[in-house]
Structure 1
């Protein structure tokens, strides 16, 4: 499953899988406990494929950071997201050495590590770029 269907909902712990659209929003299922939740359009929802982390040169997509954590941990769980601020910063420095310390807060690091661990525990470790749909070229028409 791609990160295009995985959501972070403000005020709700963990991650959710987008299940279906409804008239007033959509239905999501928690990756932690499997409970379904009706989410209205008023909720602040982020799709993981749209999130990026600041570095000094560019914004790195979350999928790239997840890939780096996956490689660093050989596919296993990362450190606990409840570790001390210093441990989180040291870990994040190993994964993304040039992250912007002024714009990436410890709370952001906690979320990234927690999200990685949730996805890893569910076997959702394919962090590759989704295949772009090919458009027919002018020559083929």
Structure 2
């Protein structure tokens, strides 16, 4: 399972894994309770691999933020929970990502990131590496090996 197949649906709690495409939308399975739902084309859907967090220099892809959290927590769930106080969440997020833009990243965004990370880890998702970079590196190695032969 990669972040390319995990989506957040506006108005629905938690995260969903894309299952299959239909004529009028797609079928997704909830990571909270495992129930499948049909999502129409008019629904507002965000793919996790396309979400980024504002920092003072540039936008950081969500997968990199998750990787930093994973490194801090040694692969386990976060020490804070998404229902903790605003100050506690901001303090935790500052430890993970010290240069995040406090003016453009709201406490509600931090809550979502913490909640989503915990949900992904709880469901056995622990590989936050970028699959496109990995495949490009493998292609380069193969090309170099071919030249040597």
- Equivalent in the alignment of 2:41: 41
Question: Given the alignment of the two structures, is residue 53 of structure 1 paired with residue 34 of structure 2, yes or no?
Answer: no
Offset at 1:10? Answer: 0.3
- Equivalent in the alignment of 1:19: 19
- Equivalent in the alignment of 1:86: 87
- Equivalent in the alignment of 1:70: 70
| Secondary structure of 2:125 counterpart | coil
Alpha-carbon distance in structure 1 between the residues aligned to 2:126 and 2:105: 24
Segments of structure 1 that go 5 or more residues without pairing to the other structure are: none
- Equivalent in the alignment of 2:125: 124
Answer 1 or 2: which has greater helix percent: 2
Offset at 1:132? Answer: 3.5
Residues 75-116 of structure 1, C-alpha deviations (whole Å, 9 max, x = no match): 111120100000000000000000001100000000000000
Offset at 1:119? Answer: 0.3
4+ residue stretches of structure 1 with deviation over 2 A?
131-135
- Equivalent in the alignment of 1:6: 6
> How many residue pairs end up in the alignment?
139
CA RMSD of aligned residues (A): 1.8
- Scaled by the length of structure 1, the TM-score of the pair is 0.93
| Secondary structure of 1:4 counterpart | helix
Alpha-carbon distance in structure 2 between the residues aligned to 1:89 and 1:13: 22
| Secondary structure of 2:91 counterpart | helix
Segments of structure 2 that go 5 or more residues without pairing to the other structure are: none
